Amino acid sequence: MGTAVTERVVTVSFFASMLLAIWGAVYPVPYGLCVGALMVMPLLALAVIGLSGGRLAILFWVILFLMPAGAYRAYHDVQIFSKGKTVLYAAAVGLVMAGLFAAAEKRVRSWILVAVLFPVLTFTYGVSAVLESDMLLDRSVPRRFVTKVMDRHINWGTRHKTFSVTLAPWGGRTEKVSDLVTGSLYHSLRAGSAACVQEGPGALAIPWYRIEACGE
């Protein structure tokens, strides 16, 4: 692969990953296509690194860039009732990703920063991939409930803020539920108003639910 071609591949990859991350963060519509791309692009970057014999190892930074973007979507869009199976599946996906990268880029042991970050990021990617796959590949008809918004909060951190809502029990449940949501969903809900919840058994047998504004 010539220098000019290599530079072109790197430039296009970084530009595409930047646009994809912005798409996922700002307006992920159509949702399945956007999230699917966020999950697949790191795998494509990993494949290119391997096929290039490590010459395009710089594409590792595309993976670093997109994994948090996918995690942001899963973290805010998909909720689950039990974390045990998710952690197990995510660890398996993370180990496979880490192994593939180590095989593709044999100098990984000399990359101190990569050696520290990659295990964390691959597990994060595993959680994202498991949660999104469980929901998006679920072919059952989701159950839909209407419940009440009991409270909502803005949680101020040192560098950013997060949004959360507390919902009254629904569907025979006995305890209220508090979850993080996106800023747009937070602003569309009001304390005392109605919120809608979709529930499904999950394609990976991990029951999931998703909080939505009832007009969606």
Query: pLDDT averaged over the chain?
Result: 85
Whether residue 109 sits in one domain with residue 36: yes
* % of the chain beyond a pLDDT of 70: 89
Q: What is the mean pLDDT of residues 78-86?
A: 87
Look at residue 68 and tell me whether its pLDDT is greater than 90. Answer: no
Look at residue 54 and tell me whether its pLDDT is greater than 90. Answer: no
Per-residue pLDDT at 112: 52
Per-residue pLDDT at 79: 92
Whether residue 89 sits in one domain with residue 195: no
Distance CA 189, CA 149 (A): 7
Among 158, 162, 157, CA closest to 178: 162
Whether residue 125 sits in one domain with residue 206: no
Per-residue pLDDT at 60: 76
For residue 58, which amino acid is it? I
Range of the domain at 22: 3-136
Whether residue 72 sits in one domain with residue 150: no
Residue 62: pLDDT band with limits 50, 70, 90: confident
- For 160-184, what is each residue's pLDDT tens digit? 789 999 999 998 888 999 998 998 8
In the listed set 136, 169, 191, which residue is the last one of a domain according to the structure? 136
Residue 142: pLDDT band with limits 50, 70, 90: very high
Whether residue 130 sits in one domain with residue 149: no
Per-residue pLDDT at 2: 57
In the listed set 136, 159, 192, which residue is the last one of a domain according to the structure? 136
In the listed set 92, 111, 136, which residue is the last one of a domain according to the structure? 136
Whether residue 192 sits in one domain with residue 109: no
Q: What is the mean pLDDT of residues 17-29?
A: 90
CB 143 within 8 A of CB 199: yes
Q: What is the mean pLDDT of residues 149-157?
A: 90
Whether residue 167 sits in one domain with residue 81: no
Whether residue 195 sits in one domain with residue 100: no
Whether residue 124 sits in one domain with residue 152: no
Whether residue 124 sits in one domain with residue 151: no
Q: Provide the number of structural domains found in the chain.
A: 2
Whether residue 200 sits in one domain with residue 131: no
Q: What is the CATH number of the domain that holds 194?
A: 2.40.50
- For 113-138, what is each residue's pLDDT tens digit? 555 666 777 888 899 999 999 999 99
Q: Indicate yes or no: pTM above 0.85.
A: no
Whether residue 153 sits in one domain with residue 109: no
